[in-house]
Structure 1
Amino acid sequence: MEQVLKNVDANEVMTAWDEQAEADKFHVTKLIFGEDRRFYELSKLLQTSKVQTATLKIKDAVSEEEKLKLERALGAKVALRTLTMPLGRAAVFLSSRKPLMSERFPIPKINFNSLILPDMINVSLEKDAIDQNLYDWGYFHNGCSSGLMISRDTVDVNGSWIVFNKPPKLNPQHAGFLLGLGLNGHLKKLEEWHIYNYLGPKHNFTSGQQI
């Protein structure tokens, strides 16, 4: 059994985590801690771009219609859990990355689909299954955790690059990204006209009215 686990570990493909360059960190930790998989497993637990898995346990016999309702309800709970994952990611990867100034900073996507076991049923989140306010705050924290990943020692972050990451229409996720940048001291280089363009539209999350 030990030999089998070694073979699996040796041939395991380390792919980019949530479309980011965490694969490099996997390779480094694997070289330093060859038999320690905690960083790898923790990173997998914090992935929001992958389909989440959950098990539905039903004690009594139910109809197929009732079972489908239970599966959808569980899928909604899984989606709520997914919205909280960025909080953990912010703690694990705090101030750990230096972005390329020629590219936008990749913010992990959030996948609300779930795979319900033991029936292996794919459940898509129904519209209005989660309150819009919860969506907004989840995306806000997703952006904030990404902003917090950018190292405090990165000196190239400036107002032009921050605006380069700005979406066509302000949204909670970019507002959170700005908060994360600010907490790591990267908003000091914003020009006054940058600040005006952010505050002028009076977007609740960006201007801080919701915080």
Structure 2
Amino acid sequence: MSSEFALSRKSKKFLEDLRVYLITSKKSLDDVNDIVNDLEDHLYEAEQNGKTIEKIVGSSPKEYMEMVSGELTTDNKSWFKYICLIIFGSFTFMLFPDILTLDLSYSVLDIVSHIVISSMFLLFAFAYLKCTIIKKYMPVKRAILFLGLVILISAISFGIVYLNQNISSPIINFGTLGSIIIAVIMTVFLAGLVFWAAK
């Protein structure tokens, strides 16, 4: 029987937290999977022998996660690609309602602000996940922290919308041909994304 189904709830929760912590620390996904799978096997063997999770990871999950993270190389290059994919993907959803008109037109501030907001959202989301795992906040504190994050992102978004309405910014008009090319790129990108996610 697979250890995935035999592990205690506490061990499963720790493995989930460890995976999220390592991912938000920008470690290689392959390394993360290898570490988590190896630890899963160790925890399964320990539990089969009547040992607790503390016998494997120690009394401080935070220190164990930090130790494992310190042993892995930070994969900035791959994560830069992932972040670019996420930002580009969010652009496709922003453009989709307008793509049917085949006359895309956006100000430079529109484009820059979207990149800034998407980047900040990812940065804050990673920080939130990492912080809540390490600090072990109670549900109420986690909800307050999440609400604060949403309010901050919303305030920045409204601020940029205000600037866009009150500051002149060069307009980029893609025209019919440019809009068709972007529509094709979006379709290929989304198809590739679906294929990648299904693998």
Structure with the largest fraction of helix: 2
TM-score bracket for this pair, using the shorter chain length: under 0.3
TM-score, length-normalised on structure 1?
0.23
TM-score, length-normalised on structure 2?
0.24
Instruction: Tell which has more relative contact order, 1 or 2 (C-alpha 8 A, sep 6+).
Output: 2
